[in-house]
Chain A
Amino acid sequence: MKSSPLSTVIRNLFWIVPLAVTIGLWEFTSPILFQVVLAFIGMIILNPAVNWIESIVQKRGLSVFIVLASIIIVFIFILNLIGPILSRQAVDIQAMLSMDTFSNLIVKLEVISKDLLPEYLFLKVQALLVFMDSALGDIWRIIMTDIQGMISKAGNLVFAVGSFVMSLIFILVFLVFLLLDGQNFKRTFIHAIPNQYFEMTMKILDKISDSISAYIRGQLLAALSVGITSVIGLYILQWITGINIPYTYIIGCVAGLSNLIPFIGPIIGMLTAVIVYLVSEQVVPVQFIYVFSIMGIFGIVQLIDNLIVSPLIMSGSVGLHPMFVIIFVLVGGVMAGPLGMLFAVPMAAIIKVIVVELRWGFKHYKFL
């Protein structure tokens, strides 16, 4: 039917009202929305597997069950295998974030700069380090409190409704619904669109969901590959040189996750490894060459990612200018802490995809 503006609004109330309520009660709805987003990402990852199983068993419900049951079994297996190591490393690393660590870092930096710099420069750097000890100490303390506060804040955001287990169950329930009925949600939305924009909306939604799925899958696979290759690289380096880099798995996680941020992410992973190396106990004396080797390992990890893994799994980069990447990361950091920094660029990339496809649609369907 040809629709008046009022009837269009009424037909779209089914998503306008929930959206208005979500924004109006943001404080209460954001944790749940975050769980829905996690479930949505889960759906994007698992949908191809569910489709494949469905092509064999011919039942959507059964294929969702098979995929989720297998994932849960594998997850429990992996958790039993590396879970204890990971949690021990996490506890150790939290204990390590203290003032002693900072003094230790300063001492190690002195040792390295002594190796590296000519004597007159070294003396200057040493004087500077001593002079800045107290000032830097304050900054270090603020950063540590901030990071620890933000980690617990991020945890609260995810698990605000009930306990950890309850939240996992909610995410699982959302995931099941999205996997079972994802297509229906889209159809219901499309149903409310006026005839004039029907084909265009359908096309744009398809293109956007394809691009976003490809982007999220690509990013997560790249993060996984960077995490794994970093851990392998660090193990090989320790084996060859005899230096000690503890918390390898945690460093792998940080390197993998921070890889979601282009340009800046790889440096974060590398710096984490270098700092951990400098502040931990070493049998082999600390030397600049080892710091350089750690950097080299992360360079190789990036080479593998950029030359082999990414071209295989990604349809292409989203093409954001480095300056905008930095701006997005900073804004994300101000808005939502480390979690905001992590998700700022993917969110910006998704928004860019939406804008590009909307423009394409309006142009090709002769509305522009």
Chain B
Amino acid sequence: MTKIKTYWNNIFKADSTSSSLPIMTLKQVPIFDGLSNREFNAISKIVHHREYDTDEFVFQSGTPGLGMYIILQGEVVLNGVNTEGKNIEFSQLSSGDSFGEIALISEDNRSANAVVNSQCQLVAFFRSDLLDIIIRSPKLGNKILLNLATVLGNRLKHSNKLLTNGEDV
């Protein structure tokens, strides 16, 4: 009986990876703070689940920004070129971290490269998905937008702090 069930599941369940997405990891992401279990379920059906090999680019600097990525497993390095033309590493991210949030609200080009450091599982959440949520489920959309504003505000505060400290030095 179970065998038959699995057989039909294989045919009718288009994308089994999406339904088994670890919601626990999504719950660690600041922009999904305060969402109900039902809302997490809705999000897990919208996001894209991807697997990357070592040294693969997730995105490259200068390409149009589409959305953010959440690391389920593995490591990602954000790097780029500074004003003097030198390659520098901005940060190293691991499981539970997210990057590329600015692309959710701005269509500007990416300002850094994202390169996979070790075999990696990522979840992609795109601006078009967010816009879709805002239209179809305004309550959920507002929660995400508020969280997003908080995350970006905190980053601004952090940058300001770094600048102020730099002046002091």
**A residues lining the B interface (CB < 8 Å):** 1-2, 51-52, 54-55, 58, 60, 183-184, 187-188, 190-191, 195-196, 198-200, 202-203, 206, 364-366
Contacts and interface: CB of A to CB of B under 8 A. Distances in A.
Interface of B: 14-15, 17-18, 46, 48-53, 56-60, 62-64, 66, 124, 126, 128, 132, 135-138
A198 B50 contact: yes
Nearest to B119: A1
B15 A191 contact: yes
A150 B58 CA distance: 53
Nearest to B51: A1
A55 B137 CA distance: 5
B52 A187 contact: no
- Interface class of chain B by DSSP: mixed
Given A184-B15, A191-B15, A206-B128, A55 B136 contact: yes
Contact of A2 (B53, B124, B126): B53
Given A188-B15, A191-B48, A198-B50, 18 more contacts: A51-B135, A55-B135, A55-B137, A55-B138, A184-B15, A187-B18, A191-B15, A191-B49, A195-B50, A195-B56, A196-B57, A199-B64, A199-B66, A200-B63, A202-B48, A203-B64, A206-B128, A365-B63
Contact of B53 (A1, A51, A203, A364): A1
- Interface class of chain A by DSSP: helix
25 contacts: A1-B53, A2-B53, A55-B135, A58-B137, A183-B46, A183-B132, A184-B14, A184-B15, A187-B15, A187-B18, A188-B15, A190-B48, A191-B49, A195-B56, A198-B48, A198-B50, A198-B124, A199-B59, A199-B63, A199-B66, A202-B48, A202-B126, A203-B66, A365-B64, A366-B60
B63 A1 contact: no
Contacts of B62: 366
Nearest to B128: A206
A202 B66 contact: yes
A63 to B, nearest CB: 9
B63 A366 contact: yes
Contacts of B48: 187, 190-191, 198, 202
Contacts of A190: 48
A206 B126 CA distance: 11
A190 B66 CA distance: 14
Contacts of A366: 60, 62-63
B71 to A, nearest CB: 15
A199 B124 CA distance: 10
Contact of B63 (A54, A206, A364): A364
